[in-house]
Amino acid sequence: MKLVMATNNENKLREAREILSPLGIEILSQAEAGVDTNPEENGETFAENAMIKAAAVYELVQCPVIADDSGLCVDALNGAPGVYSARYAPKGEECQTLLKEMKHVPDDQRTAHFQCCIAYIDAEGYGTVSASCAGKIGYEERGENGFGYDPVFLYNGTTLAEMTADQKNAISHRGAALRLLFEVFRERYGDKHADK
């Protein structure tokens, strides 16, 4: 069966394909599905934003769609940047902006987590799955891999940007959410589409 992921981000697509393909699902990007839409993500939660994206694409393709929304939630900043993670600072300046705001926050109060919510819609209905990755904010940028806040997010003393793609996928919020979605889809589509 074919499914459209509401993104053209190659990293997100690769991870989704790796985790969901054993179910016999072929995942297309928006571009591959011929969809050019960029709805305003004005929800107050990750789940609302994910559903906004999924619904906009579903309306155009009328086949199963998934969409994710994710971000960084820092306890010392009352959960910020949260749903505004992508708009929190100019592109490329996310880490410096965050480190500046956290300058006087002591080590034991630098806890944070990445949150991911994936929405899915098909002819039978819709739903969401969510997962998180807990860690803390470091004091400097470290590592060459990853993107966004990865260079300052520490997981067991290592930043996400210091990990290989496989290491990050094994513990990441998106990887965990996709594994939950795998179970949902196995129940939803498993028997019906096993031979297609």
Token reading at 98: 């965050």
Band (131; pLDDT cuts 50, 70, 90):
very high
* 73 vs 121: CA distance, rounded Å: 26
Domains of the chain (ranges, CATH numbers): 2-193 (3.90.950.10)
Q: Is the whole model's pTM more than 0.85, yes or no?
A: yes
**pLDDT of 2:** 93
**pLDDT of 65:** 98
**For residue range 35-60, what is the model confidence (pLDDT) as tens digits?**
999 899 999 999 999 999 999 999 99
β-partners of residue 67 are 119
Averaged pLDDT score across all residues of the chain: 92
Band (134; pLDDT cuts 50, 70, 90):
very high
**Helical H segments across the chain, by residue range:** 10-20, 46-61, 94-101, 165-171, 173-193
Residues labelled catalytic: 69
At 119, which helix (H) or strand (E)?
A: strand 111-122
Nearest to 50 by CA among 181, 195, 186: 181
What contacts 93, CB < 8 A, 6 or more positions away?
none
For residue 18, is pLDDT > 80? yes
Question: What is the β-pairing status of strands 125-137 and 111-122?
Answer: antiparallel
**pLDDT of 191:** 53
The fraction of the chain above a pLDDT of 70, given in percent, is: 97
